[in-house]
Amino acid sequence: MQLRSEAAVLMDSTTGAVLYSKNGNEKMYPASLTKIATAIYAIENGNLEDRVVISHNAVNTEGTRVYLEEGEVVTLHHLIQGMLINSGNDAAVAIAEHIDGDIEKFSKSFNEYLKKQIGVSNTHFSNPNGLYGEDHYTTAEDLAKITNYALKNKVFKDIFGTKELVWDGLSWDTTLFTHHQMLKGEVPYSGITGGKTGFVNESKQTLATTAENGNMKLTAIALKADYKRDIYNDTKQLLDFGFQHFKTSYLPKAKTFTVNDKTFQPEKSIVISEPLEGAVYEVTKQGELKVQTQNQDTIQVVQLKRVKEREEEPVSGEPETEDPFTRMNSLFGTIVVMAAGAVYKVTKRKRK
């Protein structure tokens, strides 16, 4: 695959398996893809019906806006819509100030949330909107993790997939349209379910896209392309690669694997990503199941549990445990023998 974007990751939205990576763990500047993280943070840490009073600081935020007015009152839910659909930097700042009081406190709480709740390892955000800063960075893989986590939330998923929305602002009444050309239909591709665009000079073009077909759901992240046409072509290549080579399937709990005379199995039925041409399973002696392609590229690792072996036979001198029916039959046999003996004695006396 020849991608023009400097970094890219294709991930199974359901399992989190990385199906393709180009510089997936390299430090990158995300631009407005930051707002994906801000949105889920606000949804999970705020009340969507809260009425937010817009500050002077939010109104004077540079970049793309939804033209909020100082003193205007907008619900948190509506601000998240304006931030994701129209990429409103002013809405992002208003959200951060409402949740945590100011940008500095927001950044501290925000980064702790991303690490503890989502499990990112190479991300640090210093603002809620993605404006450039040396200490505002992430990776393609972390962004895919954040997007997959957010997609589990229905409110986020609905907004992320919104193509247009009536915006009834104090000074700006309009219809907002998503900036994502594949979601909007300007760049045709079947199965697109959501998306977010980004651009600042330092990060160049950035793009997050989700799509699905009958076999699986995919999350594609592409970072630092020079032109929009390049980043959309890269995204189409990523999605084509995923849909043409992989599927999401189930590994049943009853499935067992044996290695070095040890047997392992899943603790429960789990969802896995598999190559369409068939998966190769490799199990380590620690019980890690590696799901691999035919070329032995690992796409997912699942921890299995060891199956307990049958208890050993009791050693000589130890009493064996009988089942209830054996004990009952033995007792019945003893009673019959005793009864027979009694009858014999009675009969013998009578003969005398």
Which residue in 288, 282, 286 sits closest to 302, CA to CA? 288
Q: In degrees rounded to 5, what are phi and psi of residue 163?
A: -90, -35
Does residue 14 contact residue 251 with C-beta atoms inside 8 Å? no
Tokens of 265: 């199995």
Tokens of 281: 């399973």
Which of the following is catalytic: 55, 87, 107, 273? 87
Q: Is 203 a catalytic residue?
A: no
Q: Is 87 a catalytic residue?
A: yes
SS (H, E, C) the chain: CCCCCCEEEEEECCCCCEEEEECCCCCECCHHHHHHHHHHHHHHHCCCCCEEECCHHHHCCCCCCCCCCCCCEEEHHHHHHHHHHCCCHHHHHHHHHHHHCCHHHHHHHHHHHHHHHHCCCCCECCCCCCCCCCCCEECHHHHHHHHHHHHCCHHHHHHHCCCEEEEECCCCEEEEECCCHHHHCCCCCCCEEEEEEEEECCCEEEEEEEEECCCCEEEEEEEEECCHHHHHHHHHHHHHHHHHHEEEEEECCCCCEEECCEEEECCCCEEEEEECCCCEEEECCCCEEEEECCCCCEEEEEECEECCCCCCCCCCCCCCCCCHHHHHHHHHHHHHHHHHHHHHHHHHHHHC
Which of the following is catalytic: 21, 22, 35, 204? 35
Spacing of C-alpha 256 from chain mean position:
26
Other beta carbons within 10 Å of 253: 12
Q: Is 32 a catalytic residue?
A: yes
Which of the following is catalytic: 5, 13, 21, 32? 32
Active-site residue list: 32, 35, 87
